[in-house]
Structure 1
Amino acid sequence: MNTLFSEYPPAEKLRLFIQSYWTGDFNINREASFSQSVVPNGCVELIIHLSDFHCSLNKRVWCKSPDFTLLGVFTKPYEVKFSENVQVFGIRFYPDGIQNVFGVPPSVFFATYEDSVDVLGKSVQRFCTRIRELQSVNAQLQFANEFLTDQLGRHFLAHDYTHQAMSLIRKVAGEPDYQLLKYQIPISDRQLQREFKNRYGITISDYMRLSRMNAIQKYMDSSGSANLTQLSYDLNFFDQSHFIREFKTYVGITPGKFSRIRDRFIVNPAH
């Protein structure tokens, strides 16, 4: 094993907005050239590098990632390269979470990465620097909960129908039903579609598909194998071919091949 992940739940009042905190230890064996593909999960990642060793990401050219990296929502897998042992503390936000915690729409960094300080401001630089200084995960978690709760109090949007729509989609993950949104969100279909895309950079249909992919990945992680026929039936695909085609769209390869080379991927399905 060359990668080690641990996940931690956020404070109760943050759980509608933050999927998890996590720590990652990458390229533990210090291979000269180690890479993994990240499977999209529909979340925004704030990644705090805990040392001067960073991963490399591709934005037209391969570059060392910023100290405090902000990764937007992706709909395709992307590659991460490591040449040293890289240790990080991460915060996995739902897209509506980053909007409500920091007041920044994730559409401005959709399908790319940025320096979090450039996008979220100097207060995030001070926060990330302090996380880096703290010596224990428990201290990091406590400080993160306090800071992010304060930020949520400053930026929370009380009547945000796109947040309601995203929360509902996550609750019914694996059984996307657009009609359900139309009945429960009290604005017109066209307005909801427009505001959703403008704010998050992704369409409602694509977010539903990503939520269903999360359900697929959780099933595969828990079972250790993929019964494609059963998965296709349980998650309301038209047939097995439809399931395989959609899986390949978001992961880049077929489910069968993915099961065989699972260790080449970073998979963190949003709950």
Structure 2
Amino acid sequence: MNVKFSEYRPSPALGSYIQAYYTGDFNLYSENNFVQSVVPNGCIELIIHLTHDHCELVKEDTWGRSPEFTLIGLQTKPYEVRFHEPVQIFGVRFNPEGIYHIFGVPPAVFTATFENSTDVLGNEFKDYCSRLRESTSIQQKIQLTEAFLLKNMLDNSKEYDYVRMASETIRKHHGLLSLEELIQKVHISPRQLQREFKKRFGITAKEYMRLSRLNAIQKYMQVPTSLNLTELSYEHGFADQSHFIREFKMLAGTNPRGFLKKRADFLTLPVNLE
């Protein structure tokens, strides 16, 4: 493997908003053009580069060096990341409502693209990143991150609202509920939910359901011998195997068996849907 990846769970105080903290070492063998395809997971990724060398991302159809501190928005299609040198990062994976609740920034601002985190989150964030880089252990990095996030959460706390409730409900049910069932649980009109969900997150509730449903099966895709398309299709609410393959290809860019054949080319980050 040309990638080393480790994840760490957040404290209970932040567990509703943060999926994980993580460290990543990419292009361990210093390939000149190491490429990974990232499968969408319905989360927002905050990437802090710990080394001088960065990855490359596409923005407006042009490849370019990613910012020192990168905020990657919600994606509904796979995207590629290129590496020319070894790259080391520290990351925070937010549930979509988390970035809004903690920083007061609606994810719709950078859906399907990426931004310089300092431009979005301000100078205090840049100061935090400087201190993070100076810390010498993963425990110190996580403690520093938690303190920074909790402070911002108190400064920007939002009341419990139906858009947040809708996204949490979708994840809780692994995307396996209809729009009508979601509306009954959230108690809001279909038109208002769709409008406000898209306004807040930049994607529709149905698109988020699809992401959550595909995330629920990603753990099965890690072990090829356990792959049974018929069973997976039935257990995860797809009308049939063809429906499952069609939606999988939409998110991963290839069908399930093609994915497994080139598994090393993909970076998959399944989320905790509970």
TM normalised by structure 1 equals: 0.97
Indicate the RMSD between aligned Cα atoms, in angstroms. Answer: 1.1
Q: Which residue of 1 aligns with 2:32?
A: 32
Equivalenced residue count is 271
Go from structure 1 to structure 2 and tell me whether the alpha carbon gap of 1:167 and 1:223 turns closer, same or farther (over 3 Å shift): farther
Name stretches of at least 5 consecutive residues in structure 1 with no aligned partner.
none
Q: Residues of 2 paired with 1:224 and 1:21: CA distance?
A: 30
Contact 2:224–2:260 under 8 Å retained in 1: no
Q: Residues of 2 paired with 1:225 and 1:111: CA distance?
A: 32
Go from structure 1 to structure 2 and tell me whether the alpha carbon gap of 1:255 and 1:223 turns closer, same or farther (over 3 Å shift): closer
Q: Which residue of 2 aligns with 1:268?
A: 269
Kindly state the Cα deviation for residue 75 of structure 1 after the two structures are TM-superposed: 0.3
Kindly state the Cα deviation for residue 176 of structure 1 after the two structures are TM-superposed: 2.9
Q: Residues of 2 paired with 1:66 and 1:141: CA distance?
A: 22
Q: Which residue of 2 aligns with 1:150?
A: 151
The sequence identity of aligned pairs, in percent, is 52
Q: Which residue of 2 aligns with 1:130?
A: 131
Q: Which residue of 1 aligns with 2:164?
A: 163
**What SS does the corresponding residue of 1:14 show, helix, strand or coil?**
coil
Q: Residues of 1 paired with 2:41 and 2:261: CA distance?
A: 20
Q: Which residue of 2 aligns with 1:233?
A: 234
Contact 2:23–2:91 under 8 Å retained in 1: yes
**What SS does the corresponding residue of 2:64 show, helix, strand or coil?**
strand
Which is worse superposed, 125-134 or 136-145?
125-134
Kindly state the Cα deviation for residue 223 of structure 1 after the two structures are TM-superposed: 6.3
Contact 1:176–1:212 under 8 Å retained in 2: no
Matched letter for residue 178 of structure 1: L
Q: Residues of 1 paired with 2:205 and 2:124: CA distance?
A: 31
* TM-superposition CA deviations, 1:211-259 (whole Å, max 9, x none): 0110111222266542101100100111000000010011110001101
Q: Residues of 2 paired with 1:93 and 1:247: CA distance?
A: 23
Which is worse superposed, 169-178 or 10-19?
169-178
Q: Residues of 2 paired with 1:55 and 1:224: CA distance?
A: 33
Q: Residues of 1 paired with 2:54 and 2:226: CA distance?
A: 33
